[in-house]
Amino acid sequence: MRSLLSALVAIASANAQCPQREITVQVQQRNIGEPIAGLTPADFAIEGAPPLSLAARLPADIVVLIEDRSRGGFLAGAAALFVKSLLPEDRVSVLTYGVSTKRQLAWSHDEEKIRLAMEKGADGYSLQIARPLYGVVDALKLFGKPIPGRQRAIFLLGDNQDNGSQIRVEQLAANLIEERVTLDLAIDPAPKRIIPRLNVPPPSLGNEAPGQRPAQVGQQSVELLAQSTGGAVDKFPEADYLRDMRERLKSRLTLTYCADPKHPDRPPAVQLTPAAKQKYEDAELQAPGINLNKRKP
């Protein structure tokens, strides 16, 4: 009895010293974008140690974030294909952004409600101020605490630049990474904008000192935000882009690892092992991490 108690104490002590966390990565063939199959935990090193386990095709909580402007039915076919790609355990919420963010649908498993919310929410007819970073902030607020065995993602349909938000993209990326949310950006390919887009200066705070007023940070890259979270950026001229985004999420790998007890929520450095790099010579690993070198001119 005493030996059993000692063993339980040892296990509890080991768990306390090694909090388990999850991180989502994707490994694909360079210049092709196709996922590499057959990877195992032994192919990865998380700050020098192999992960405890590897899983794929996990159910997900997905916020679909859409720039609110008329597309003439462009989104209808995409929404129909998207809901067919969902897993039974998926939950989807739909938001639109423009002058402000509007929730079109709370978390739902209902494919018909999801499809209708996406179609309804992308047909605005008022002047718009496109601020995708503010939209991402509101989308992030919809997530609760991370749940083991579930992925978390924002699928954004809009522009690849933000000229009006005052939040810094690097700080927003850090928040997304900390909350284990990946961002995938589908750059809207529509060549004609029926609704003009306006960029306005930040609001004044009245008679406060200039140093206390919000400062406009200038043009910011939403592409950088997506890439830094471990997500992807694509231009989608076809109606199957949202389905492709869900399929890409299915192919991403969720690694369970032993986190640093002193900093359990700090995202770790993830690499392929030398043996995996030799075995998969064209492998390209995408993992969360803010890399300013990826900023495009």
pLDDT score, position 289: 86
Strand partners, 92: 62, 108
Q: Mean of the pLDDT values across residues 95-106?
A: 88
pLDDT grade for 291, boundaries at 50, 70 and 90: low
How far is Cα 48 from Cα 129, in angstroms, rounded to an integer? 46
Using one digit for the tens of pLDDT, what is the confidence trace for 154-210? 999 988 888 777 888 998 999 999 999 999 999 876 544 444 444 444 444 444 444
DSSP characters for 170-214? Answer: HHHHHHHHHTT-EEEEEE---S--SS-B---PPPP-TTS-GGGS-
Average pLDDT, the chain: 81
Element (H, E) at 79: helix 74-84
Least confident of 28-37, 57-66, 115-124, 214-223: 214-223
Closest CA to 117 of 93, 141, 135, 136: 93
pLDDT for residue 216 = 54
Q: Is the pLDDT of residue 67 over 60?
A: yes
How many Cβ atoms from other residues are within 10 Å of residue 137's Cβ? 17
**Is the domain covering 59-250 a CATH 3.40.30.10 domain?**
no
The three-state secondary structure class of 23 is: strand
What tens digit of pLDDT does each residue of 226-270 get? 999 999 888 776 788 899 999 999 999 999 999 888 888 788 889
Quick one: CA torsion of 28, 31, 32, 36, rounded to 10 degrees?
-20
Angle (CA) 165-23-88 rounded to 5° is 90
More confident of the two residues 232 and 86: 86
Question: Where do we find the tokens 């999420």?
Answer: 249
**Residue 60 pLDDT class (50, 70, 90 cuts):** very high
Encode pLDDT of 173-182 as tens digits: 999 999 999 9
Rg of the chain over all Cα atoms, to the nearest angstrom: 21
For residue 235, count other CB atoms closer than 10 A to its CB.
11
* Cβ contact 20:256 at 8 Å: yes
For the chain, domain boundaries: 20-55+253-294, 59-250
- 5 versus 123: which is more confidently predicted? 123
Q: Residues 116-141: what's their mean pLDDT?
A: 80
Tell me the torsion sign for CA atoms 18, 28, 74, 128: positive
pTM, 2 dp: 0.83
